[in-house]
Structure formats: C-alpha cells, structure tokens
C-alpha cells in the first residue's frame, strides 16, 4: 500500500505533514508513503528525523503550492506542478493507492475532479465528514463540495454516504436521514421536497425520512444527507459553538471563586473523553467520495496526528474497496438514477 501525501498542504506544512507520514510508517508494516512537494525542505526534515534512507518513505518533487486563499480553479490552471496536483496524478497513474490533501478544500476538490475524474453515474463528488454525537459518529455529507445541490446530487450523496458509513462505522445497514426543517415529508425547500420520494424508493439505502438540526448531535441516524452549503455552515457552526462555549466556561471559572477553580481541577479528568470526542484532529479529515480514487481532505490546521489518522483511514478505504462498492451500488440503483435524472 502506497499513500501519496501533499506534504506542502496546510498551515503547518511541510513539517507536520512529513512527521505525520513518518508516524504512520512507524506504526504499521504495510503503509509506505510518497511525500510530494519541495524536495529540499522535505529531505531536510527526513534527515533531521534520521529517516532519509527509509525505503518506505519516498520524496516526489513538486515545485509549486496552492495557498489557502487562492481561487481553486485559477490556481489549478496556472500551477501545473502544484503538490496537490502531482500527488493526485500519482494515484491516477497507479503509482499510489490514495491521496492525503490537507489545506484548501476547494483546491483539493478541483485537483481530485480533474486528476481522477468522477465515478460513472456520479455527477458531483461530495465531502463526507464524520461528526461526533452522543452515541458515536454520524457521517454528514455533503459538507462543502457543492453549494447548489439538485435532488440527484443529494441522492448520489445518500448512496455514497451509506457505503462509507458501512466501512467507517462497521454497520451492515446504516440509517440515512435527509436534513430538513421538519419531520414530515411535505416540509422543506424545493430541493429536499423533490429528493424525499426518490430516497424512499432506493433499494441500497436504509432511509429513515427527514431529520432536523437537533437530531444530528443526538446521533439519530448514521448518515445525514444535505446540500454542501448547509453542511458547511453547520459544520463550522459546530466548531465555533464548541470553541465559544469552552471559552465562556474558562472565563467564568477564571472570574469565579477559588471554589470554582478547585472544582474545575477536580472535574477535568471526567471531561477528558468528551474533549477527545470533540477534537477534530481525532477524525483525520473527510474523504471526497465520487471520484475514481481514494482521496482524503484534511483540515488546513492539521498536525502530525491528524495526518497519520488520515493515512490510516485512507488505507482502510483502499483495502475495503470503497470505490468498487460505490460503483456496484450505482449500478444497482441505475433505474432510480435515470428516473430522477430527467
């Protein structure tokens, strides 16, 4: 198994991306890595870590980097030798089995689309983000690849999300909910109203009807299907709310009595598992589903631990043939596809 890593992607590249890759190599026997980016910088880090001669760690030079604030389409046209583009090409040419792309989500999606192409029957790829809930993990998709989804895009998302949840959650028949503003099938905007009856008819998913915003943190379903605009807003809102609440609580304790400060110290160990649950670096990022290859998008703020986790998830997805699974499911649902495609 060989994983290509855009070593220049993200706020702490290349140091943290390289360190994360090295950790993945050390902790496993079967994962080799190809570090794509500025070879001088990468080699320096490998030397510092005494890994320059490790045969399982290869450096593949790429002379350019796409920054967080560049326009993805324009950057891709201009920078043919960008690290994320070169890493993707290594999967296309079958040198590598999967890509890890930290940094600009827009650039990653564009590189994957142009480099790998879409799976036949899938119109737009989606980002499938695992969200912590009271009783485990819920996969929310799309969380930002498409912000103008039509019913067919949501339907394809439901199909792919369901396949991903089978692998990630180890559930045979994961439940799928359509994110809406009410439980009834007659509620919602034009897009979800048209999506509901198609999801109901599908053979390969376990559709449970509409879910509301409050059902996501409850873990009411395994897969939440929504448009990328809504998903992205909710995801960032969740991050912001957790950060803000933590800040409010800290401020209250610091401004509180000595008893409050002692209380905070005593309570801390009990709260550690929750903090861990809410820590997005635990998740490793989110796969882009619907392209012809395993492609993980990691946070721009990724540190070594997150990169390592992303590499392991990507390896798992390759081994369990997620792309094949999606292809087969698309084939089974073919009839539905044509019906809603008109």
Burial of 193 (0-12, 13-18, 19+ CB in 10 A): middle
- Can you spell out the DSSP letters for 254-305? HTS-HHHHHHHHHHHHHHHHHHHHH-GGGT--EEEESBSSEEEEE-TT--HH
Applying CB under 8 A, does 260 fall inside the site for a copy of itself?
A: yes
In angstroms, what is the minimal distance from the CB of 262 to a copy of itself? 6
Does position 238 interact with a copy of itself (CB under 8 A)? The reply is yes
Stretch of residues binding a copy of itself (CB under 8 A), selected from 20-28, 91-99, 189-197, 298-306: 189-197
Nearer CB in complex with a copy of itself: 50/186 = 186
Q: Is 334 in the site for a copy of itself (CB under 8 A)?
A: no
**Cβ of residue 281: shortest distance to a copy of itself, in angstroms?**
16
Whether 255 contacts 269, CB under 8 Å = no
Residue 332 binds to a copy of itself (criterion: CB under 8 A): no
Binding span for a copy of itself by CB under 8 A among 14-22, 187-195, 286-294, 312-320: 187-195
Nearer to a copy of itself, 62 or 238 (CB): 238
Q: Candidates 156, 175, 195, 232: give the one binding a copy of itself (CB under 8 A).
A: 232
Between CA 22 and CA 205 the distance in angstroms is 38
What are the C-alpha distances in Å from 84 to residues 95, 106, 143, 153, 200? 15, 11, 20, 25, 38
CB of 108 to a copy of itself, least distance (A): 14
CA 57 from centre of chain: 24
Helices 334-341/322-332 angle, 10° precision: 70
Site for a copy of itself, rule CB under 8 A: 69, 71, 133-134, 144, 147-148, 179, 181, 184, 186, 188-190, 192, 212-218, 226-230, 232-245, 247-249, 252-253, 255-257, 259-260, 262-271, 273-274, 277
């Amino acid at each position: 198994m060989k994983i290509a890593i855009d070593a220049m992607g993200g706020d702490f590249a290349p140091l943290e991306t390289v360190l994360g890759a090295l950790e993945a190599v050390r902790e496993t026997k079967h994962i080799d890595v190809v570090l794509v980016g500025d070879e001088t910088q990468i080699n320096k880090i490998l030397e510092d870590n005494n890994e320059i001669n490790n045969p399982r760690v290869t450096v593949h030079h790429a002379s350019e980097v796409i920054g967080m604030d560049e326009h993805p389409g324009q950057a891709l046209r201009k920078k043919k030798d960008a690290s994320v583009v070169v890493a993707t090409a290594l999967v296309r040419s079958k040198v590598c089995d999967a890509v890890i792309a930290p940094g600009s989500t827009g650039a990653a999606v564009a590189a994957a689309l142009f480099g790998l192409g879409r799976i036949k029957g899938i119109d737009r790829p989606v980002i499938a983000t695992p969200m912590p809930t009271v009783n485990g993990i819920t996969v929310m998709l799309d969380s930002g690849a498409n912000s103008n989804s039509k019913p067919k895009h949501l339907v394809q998302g439901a199909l792919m999300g369901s396949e991903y949840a089978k692998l990630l959650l180890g559930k045979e028949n994961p439940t799928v909910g359509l994110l809406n503003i009410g439980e009834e099938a007659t509620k919602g905007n034009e897009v979800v109203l048209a999506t509901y009856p198609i999801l109901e008819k599908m053979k390969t998913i376990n559709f449970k009807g509409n879910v509301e915003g409050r059902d996501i943190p409850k873990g009411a379903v395994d897969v939440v299907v929504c448009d990328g605009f809504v998903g992205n807003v909710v995801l960032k809102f969740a991050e912001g709310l957790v950060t803000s609440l933590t800040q409010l609580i800290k401020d209250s304790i610091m401004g509180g009595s000595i008893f409050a400060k002692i209380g905070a110290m005593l309570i801390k160990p009990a709260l550690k598992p929750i903090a861990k649950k809410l820590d997005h670096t635990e998740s490793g990022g989110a796969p882009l589903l619907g392209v012809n290859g395993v492609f993980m998008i990691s946070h721009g703020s990724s540190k070594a631990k997150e990169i390592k986790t992303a590499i392991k998830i990507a390896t798992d997805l390759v081994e369990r043939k997620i792309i094949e699974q999606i292809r087969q499911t698309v084939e089974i649902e073919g009839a539905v596809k044509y019906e809603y495609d008109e």
